[in-house]
Structure 1
């Protein structure tokens, strides 16, 4: 660098660990096996600050940072040369083998590496693929590459913030994310060619303006049952993005999604004919309630209809207690048994709130009624959990946009006001 400059300039320094020693499994615990071994990075203007650094007990150079899961990022103002030194921690050679390697990057524009929370979330899996919902469209695009590796592979666990480790690992499968599916305001992407009953972690790296932005990892497990298949990108039930009962010898994925979508669409049209007879989009004095309109009723009915007409497959795991086993001729939707014949599968029951919302939002003349607790409710519906790790029932859209209806605070019997002019029916 030109040593004649007198004005300080800001330099961004990043150090990415490409590899580090691996623990001898028989000598350490599983937690140590995946332990981060942080590098110590020193950024200085004066090389004398680095003199005898290795022997010093408490070196205090101008800028000292520790790598965190394979990434150290710092900056320094300088008008002359910049010096970077990297030191590895002392380790017990009887418990660890291998060596460190790292890449040092220096830029005057911005840091060449950054780390963010994953701008996407898992929607669902089937036995060979996974679909994800993009939450931050500004952070993931056609310049994004995904890195997927098996969860029981420890090689990247301790270096998960390092682009060098992600991009050079022989155990990771990289895929360019250039196939996005846009459904109204939601964007999806898919990872395919996976193994059944396997647990993976996916990271994304987005390249923009000479900066690599790495996401936190998202863990997911593929399903064991090949009788279920992922569908998403539907025209009518656009919020459906999950695994459904399938028969691959009868329909491919596109045909399967269209078949389910048409089932729901035809039922919805009949509902609209009935809704047109209800005074819900007139002036407030003539409406059945000033709190709800026909749009509220039709929206709630559509959510319920899509979730019940298109059942969601579950799989063995922590949430198995919330699944209902479906053997032939026991599907919620009889057309599934009569036409698809998917074989055995497990269903994650729809959330009961969707049923209660129809009763709250629609005129009683439509005759909607939900089964009561202890009298069929638990056999047809699950109860929504606010725990983000606990999927106790099926709902449409994102968890953050789905809230528990206050209707649950009111006795169900208060809603069973049925018209004497119409036949009521239970929403199973």
Structure 2
């Protein structure tokens, strides 16, 4: 076994990056601060985590990868078997070293004076060794990162997907993270320059590229991505009712599948992070549809719409947004005037409802008006709720005479619950009604049949607040086994 005799000191939550050759061993040490974490606990906990950034391409799935040994016994450097051992699996390893607190470290106070009796040992050393396997070609090498902390996991991974595709057109895609509301409730303080989440885009042909390193934050971050933070537009949105980070990806190829990875940086790229399960999406087949979002009035609209046939606006997403948005804004004016006649801020016995108010009605009506006036567009028939539109079969005069689509497309019918929301939230005096029988519903609306599935293409177009699940994102990840050990030790 080829050995590296020098030992490098690791610092709290400051990972190091190193390269190791076949049959080589690298040594590290970490000085445990025994003056912290005492209190009511019986043991100090030291979290060890690591990522493989790159490894030999000829490693088979059943071959052993890098091994990590750790112990508080210094003789482990002479004999690795003295320590406990963990293997890197799927490019990731984690371990928990527990250091019993000596009885002499308890603090005692005399009545005469406040005299503290501390442990005679103020510092303990955790010894760590990384060993490469011997059954690989002699020129094989691995690049890896290791991080140690007395407070948290430096590297993490989550088997849940934290990103979802809002929609695509033929050359762009809009993607959002999960709900970040508990992560930061101060909307005004959000700044994309300090964003913690990033998206890396890979071609679908590379879906197996990280097959043996799919839990490695470092591998995805340093892989041959097509696009990343350097050329993906990054912003925040609250259109779904909670704070989400969104990524606008442009310059894609039509009819092409991609794989996207979302990862989090804890304190910049040099201080660890978390990786989430990748997800796939596909671009549309032609330019009949154009992806728009962040409209001024229809602020919950974020999907592809029929591209404007007028050459003056061709290819200008901002112009497309304004044309659609201004039309809905004008249509809304008469309803707004009518709503002003409804008692809202008045005595309880005069309001139209004790459960809903005029603001609820206004929001539901606006969502419905946006959904039926700004049709959602697709280039393929992915659901029974899609209707083929052509030059003689447009939804209304505005689409026929102003938008004038030059290509055939499939319209994604609005979800029927968008209509039901205004019946629920608005005064009965308005006389809003929605179809109730399946036959009549399918003429103008459709049902949300795959809201819980992983399908990219919806069965209907929903515009309104969504039920976003609260997620602590970085704070709560899929390392349940390790966290369970922590809880158990604290309860003993």
Say which is worse superposed, 369-378 or 187-196, in terms of deviation.
369-378
Out of 165, 177, 191, the residue aligned to residue 122 of structure 1 is: 165
With over 3 angstroms needed to count, the CA separation of the structure-2 counterparts of 1:224 and 1:86, relative to structure 1, is farther
Structure 1 residues 294 and 178: alpha-carbon distance in aligned structure 2, compared to 1, 3 A threshold: closer
Aligned CA distance change for structure 1 residues 100 and 124 (closer, same or farther; 3 Å):
farther
1:101 maps to which residue? 142
Deviation (angstroms), 1:381: 0.7
Q: 1:113: which partner in 2?
A: 155
SS in 2 for 1:65: strand
Aligned match for 2:228, one of 150, 154, 174 = 174
Counterpart CA distance in 1 for 2:347 and 2:197 is 51
Moved more, 325-334 or 295-304: 325-334
CA positional deviation for 1:395: 1.0
Shift of 1:377: 1.5
The alignment status of 1:17 with 2:52, answered yes or no, reads yes
**Paired residue total:** 382
Q: Which residue of 2 is the match for residue 348 of structure 1?
A: 412
Aligned to 1:424: none
RMSD (CA atoms): 3.7
Q: Give the counterpart of 1:86 among 131, 156, 160.
A: 131
- 2:311 corresponds to 1:266: no
Query: Are the equivalent residues in 2 in contact too, given 1:119–1:215 (CA < 8 A)?
Result: no
Distance across 1 between alignment mates of 2:134 and 2:410: 50
Q: How far off its partner does 1:155 sit?
A: 0.9
Q: TM-score, normalised by structure 1?
A: 0.75
CA distances 1:278-332 after superposition (whole Å, capped 9, x unpaired): 4565434344444443333222211111111111123547x43332221223232
Task: Show CA shifts across 1:55-80 (max 9, x none).
Answer: xxxx6x53322323211133545823
Once structures 1 and 2 are overlaid, which stretch shifts more, 362-371 or 376-385? 362-371
Offset at 1:351? Answer: 0.8
Q: Alpha carbons of 1:85 and 1:288: their partners in 2 closer, same or farther (altered >3 Å)?
A: closer
Q: Residues 68-83 of structure 1 correspond to what in structure 2 (within 5 A)?
A: 68-76=89-97, 79-80=124-125, 82-83=127-128
Query: 1:149 offset after TM fit, Å?
Result: 0.3
Q: 1:45 to 1:264 in 2, by over 3 A?
A: same
Question: Which residue, out of 163, 175, 199, partners 2:217?
Answer: 163
Instruction: Summarize the alignment of residues 14-413 of structure 1 with structure 2, pairs less than 5 Å apart.
Output: 14-20=49-55, 22=57, 39-46=66-73, 49=76, 62-76=83-97, 79-80=124-125, 82-88=127-133, 99=140, 101-108=142-149, 111-116=153-158, 117=160, 119-134=162-177, 135-136=179-180, 138=183, 141-142=194-195, 144-153=197-206, 154-176=208-230, 179-182=234-237, 186=243, 187-209=245-267, 210-216=270-276, 217-247=278-308, 249-251=311-313, 252-279=316-343, 282-316=346-380, 319-342=382-405, 343-385=407-449, 386-389=451-454, 391-397=458-464, 399-401=466-468
Instruction: Summarize the Cα distance change of 1:330–1:250 in structure 2 as closer, same or farther, 3 Å threshold.
Output: farther
CA change 1:144–1:247 in 2 (3 A) is same
Report the Cα offset of residue 83 of structure 1: 2.7
Cα separation, partners in 2 of 1:347 and 1:66, compared to 1, 3 Å: farther
1:257 Cα shift? 0.9
Separation in structure 2 between the aligned mates of residue 273 and residue 359 of structure 1, nearest angstrom: 18
**1:11 Cα deviation from its structure 2 partner:** 5.7
Cα pair distance change 1:208/1:289, threshold 3 Å: closer
Runs of at least 5 residues in structure 1 that lack an aligned partner in the other structure: 54-58, 403-428
Change (3 A) 1:378 1:371: same
Distance 1:292 1:397, change over 3 A: closer
The DSSP-based 3-state class of the residue aligned with 1:122 is strand
Change in CA separation of 1:364 and 1:10 when aligned onto 2, cut-off 3 Å: closer
- 1:350-388 per-residue CA deviation (whole Å, 9 max, x = no partner) reads 110111222233333323222342553102111123424
Three-state SS of the structure 1 residue aligned to 2:273 is strand
In structure 2, the CA distance between the partners of 1:330 and 1:113, relative to structure 1 (3 Å rule), is: same
- 2:217, 2:249 → 1: CA distance? 20
Structure 2 residues without counterparts, runs of 5 or longer: 1-8, 11-28, 35-43, 100-122, 185-191, 470-492
- CA distance in 1 between counterparts of 2:425 and 2:225 reads 52
Q: Deviations over 1:108-135 (max 9, x none)?
A: 5654423345554322111111112343
